[in-house]
Amino acid sequence: MLEGKQIVLGVTGGIAVYKAVELLRLCVKAGAEVHVVMTEHAREFVTPLTFQTLSGNPVQTDLFNLYQEKEIGHISLAERADLFIVAPATANIIGKVACGIADDLLSTTLMATRAPSLFVPAMNVNMWENSVFQTNLKKLEERGCLVMEPETGALACGYVGKGKFPDPEKIFANVLKVFQARDLEGERIIVTAGPTVEKIDPVRYLSNFSSGKMGYAIAAAALERGAEVVLVSGPTALKRPQGAKFRPVTSAKEMFEVVLEQLPEATVVIKAAAVADFRPVIFHDRKLKKGDEEKWVVELERTPDILAALGKAKDHRILVGFAAETENLVENARRKLANKNLDMVVANDVTQPGAGFGGDTNLVTFLFPDRAPVALPCLSKEVVAHRLLDQIVDIRRSREKGASGC
């Protein structure tokens, strides 16, 4: 994903320094060459040796160190960066950069770089809310620096509030965004997300635990990569991604109708929604009154199988289904791949920690009719979304290659 990319990771002094180690690991694993610059205070928390071992490069610490200057030099470090990340970024480094102060290696290198910069502030909530700090932060944003807002929660200093260093996976997802090619330009992608709701009466329904996070992450990632996106969503509490054509639905039948209506224009369909397989045969338009009965039977009937219908009408489109399984993951997912005429199935064993419904991560294996499976570790849904889209780009390229005979 990041092969050939040069990243400079600036690390300043805060308790979150240890989490920057994980960010470094993710960048290196994705193929980036990472050079770490640590401030004096950062070195109080984690030693340079940790960053050096994981990056495979000497850690830069001093502005006036003859050996380090000879090896790489702050100007050449600034010039060679494709991306400059400062994580964690203290109020001090943000203040320095905002005001043009260059008095150590990191602030000097930051002043000399023309690369995009991503700042990940982490600090005490009162410092975060301080108006001078907020003015400095705004200056950075106005100059085009990317700033990732900290999270709210229990802070290392004992306070509760905004200032928490985000999960390294989330930062990494933003790193990917910076490098993201617009490799889905020209694609029109239908993404389905969330649960469906099958009403029994005006106050009761059948549904499932889907939050919509997986599907919304796919829609957002596809938009970033230049696709036109139609997001067909069951009821969720999520903010709709900006730029997507949004089609809210409730039941499986409605989802079926909207997806088929949108299909003629689509080049790709990704079905991340958790669609109810059954719905009540009768919808009662008045609330059902309970009597003395001990048991109550609701007769159910099958909902339309949207994916199977898409498989039949697929034509040249790329069709991706999900499989939420609780046993025999690969076997069951392979059956769906074949029976529904899919180009790819995303199999998630929803019994595994970190996988499936509701959470911010997923643990998936991609299966294809004609290529080797790709099993991913537990990753944020944003990263899973990008990995899935990488596969779509790959399928598209192989088809184009096949068509041109090269």
Residues noted as catalytic: 157
Identity of the residue, 2 or 342, whose beta carbon is nearer to ligand PMT in the bound complex: 342
Shortest Cβ 108–ligand PMT spacing (Å): 44
The residues binding ligand PMT (CB under 6 A) are 194, 210-214, 252, 271-275, 277, 303, 305-307, 321-324, 336, 348, 350, 356-358, 362
Radius of gyration of the chain from its Cα atoms, rounded to whole angstroms: 25
| Of residues 229, 227, 193, 199, the one with CA closest to residue 381 | 193
Shortest Cβ 350–ligand PMT spacing (Å): 6
Q: How far apart are CA 333 and CA 348, in angstroms?
A: 9
Q: How far apart are CA 274 and CA 209, in angstroms?
A: 8
Identity of the residue, 179 or 368, whose beta carbon is nearer to ligand PMT in the bound complex: 368
Shortest Cβ 44–ligand PMT spacing (Å): 39
Shortest Cβ 210–ligand PMT spacing (Å): 4
Q: How far apart are CA 161 and CA 173, in angstroms?
A: 23
Instruction: Report whether 140 contacts 97 (CB < 8 A).
Output: yes
Identity of the residue, 24 or 276, whose beta carbon is nearer to ligand PMT in the bound complex: 276
Identity of the residue, 121 or 195, whose beta carbon is nearer to ligand PMT in the bound complex: 195
Q: How far apart are CA 61 and CA 40, in angstroms?
A: 7
Identity of the residue, 54 or 300, whose beta carbon is nearer to ligand PMT in the bound complex: 300
Shortest Cβ 263–ligand PMT spacing (Å): 13
Residue type, 23: L
Instruction: Report whether 288 contacts 204 (CB < 8 A).
Output: yes
Residue reference for tokens 């034509």: 315
- Give 250's DSSP letter: -
Instruction: Report whether 213 contacts 383 (CB < 8 A).
Output: no
